[in-house]
Structure 1
Amino acid sequence: MAKSSKENTYEKIISASIKLFNEQGERYITTNHIVAYLGISPGNLYYYFQNKEEIIKEIFKRYEEELLEFVQGAVPEIEGYAAFRYIFKILDIIWNYRFIFTDLSVLLEKNEPLNEMQRDYINNKIAPLINHYFDLFIGNGLILMNPIDLKIFKNNFWLLIRYWFDYDKRVRGELNQDSKLRGSIHVLGLLKPYLSEEDKLIFDEIYLKLSQGIDL
């Protein structure tokens, strides 16, 4: 029973931290805010985490594992709504940890181990998967790109996904559920110039349907 209680407290600290960081911004939340929100003593928090940086590192690990699990397990399709749903799911995962991406530069600048962890994650786990999928799409004739276009596109694809919520927040002042929808349409829009004429028409259809009632 004691072990279960400890594990529960650990998870509560993580969940509360994600919630507070997302809602108010990581830089404005201290460990005192977290313990006050949970109604626990500082000693309970420091039993599991020496400081806020350790909490952030654990949250980073969870984000990376969740995103990698999805990307590895779901082969994306460059086909109308299937492609949109794939991109939307990626942004949905990022949305759950959005404080990371609205405060990313600050987080990485002040935490070199975290910076190294993120660099390794992108270079050795995410980038090879992106390369594999787009090489596959080109080989199957689903998208039409030359090697130069492909290199530029892959960088732009990841940059837009990674920094979308930071951009949207700065432009609109706050984030909401429509931010994911806007991001998905813009990321999918990167593909449009390289699609067949038939698939371009499908993209326009998706754009018109999904843009009803929201400001893109």
Structure 2
Amino acid sequence: MKTRDKIIQASIALFNEQGERNVTTNHIAAHLSISPGNLYYHFRNKEDIILSIYEEYARSLLLEALPKVSAEVKPLDSLILYMDAVSQTTRKFRFFYSNLPVLLDKNPSLREKYVEVQHTIAERIRELLLALRSAEIIAFDDDELDDIVSILRLINTFWISFYQTQTIVNEVNDSVFYQGVLKILVILKPYTTEVAKEELLKARDLYQQKYEQALASA
């Protein structure tokens, strides 16, 4: 692995474990047993590292994880894939979601990239919801679509921050991410058609089981 990639991966791990605000470039260099000068050869500052991390996040989510609606994948399967993608990416980059407004305020380039990526994510969610409606899995009026998309994105983006404000022990483990997925299913349940309700409840039971297993092993 190249030094630049090692810096990115080490930064993600340290930011997740200790919180981005508590980690400096010197900490990252020491963790990798390299000189600060070597780190600065690849990145100008910590904000530059975070921007590169977000670019990796965007590639991971949009190109590899977040499913596209297609004839080959059933709409309900696409929903499950979407929830898995959200859970996996938020888990890997959880530090980013814990301190999002501050990170965006400190880094205009990051904000610009973030807004661009979020527009693409919103469009993907919109396509998924329309496919679910076409397959008669959920039902909603056209004027509700934008609000449903926004609510789902709110859960995806701010669930971790909300959770951390509701507990004395500021720890984020796998069970927290499965809770977030369950919140998405709660939002979708009132829109679910009678013929599809059983399948959606199966998905809910699956993630409830994952949540309980993660909670027991925490």
Which TM-score tier does this pair reach, normalised by the shorter chain?
0.7 to 0.9
Name the counterpart of 2:93: 97
**What does the per-residue CA deviation read over 1:124-181, in whole Å, with 9 as the maximum and x for residues that have no partner?**
x222222222222223322100012222111101111111222222223210011121
Q: Is the aligned partner of 1:171 residue 2:166?
A: yes
CA distance in 1, matches of 2:142, 2:69: 25
Q: In the alignment, what sits opposite 2:31?
A: 37
Q: d(CA) in 2 for partners of 1:138 and 1:201?
A: 16
Q: TM-score, normalised by structure 2?
A: 0.85
**Distance apart, 1:67 and its partner CA:** 0.5
Q: Secondary structure at 1:174's aligned position in 2?
A: coil
TM-superposed CA distance for 1:112, in Å, is 1.4
Structure 1 residue aligned with 2:19: 25
Question: How much does 1:73 deviate?
Answer: 4.7
Where structure 1 has 5 or more consecutive residues not aligned to the other structure, the ranges are 1-6
Higher relative contact order (CA 8 A, sep 6+): 1
Give the secondary structure class of the aligned counterpart of 1:40. coil
Q: Aligned ranges for residues 19-168 of structure 1 at < 5 Å?
A: 19-69=13-63, 70-73=65-68, 77-79=74-76, 83-123=79-119, 125-168=120-163
TM-score normalised by length of structure 1: 0.86
SS in 1 for 2:16: helix
1:171 is paired with a residue whose SS is: coil
d(CA) in 1 for partners of 2:91, 2:69? 19
- Greater CA deviation, 69-78 or 10-19? 69-78
Q: Counterpart of 2:89 in 1: which secondary structure?
A: helix
Partner of 1:4: none
Task: Return closer, same or farther for 1:138/1:199 CA change in 2, 3 Å cut-off.
Answer: closer
- Alpha-carbon spacing, 1:65–1:139, altered in 2? closer, same or farther (3 Å): same
| Partner-residue secondary structure (3-state), 1:175 | coil
Partner Cα distance (1:196, 1:89) in 2? 24
Conserved? CA contact 1:84–1:184, under 8 Å:
no
Q: CA shift at 1:61, angstroms? A: 0.2
| Equivalent in 176, 190, 195 of residue 192 of structure 2 | 195
Kept in 1: contact 2:87–2:181 (CA 8 A): yes
**Do the aligned partners of residues 197 and 23 (structure 1) sit closer, same or farther apart at CA in structure 2, a change above 3 Å counting?**
same
Cα pair 1:26 1:99 within 8 Å, conserved: yes
Q: How far did 1:208 drift?
A: 4.4
Q: 98-107 or 177-186, which moves further after superposition?
A: 177-186
Distance 1:72 1:198 in 2: 24
In 2 relative to 1, CA 72–197 (structure 1 residues): closer, same or farther, beyond 3 Å?
A: closer
* Aligned residues with identical type, % of pairs: 33
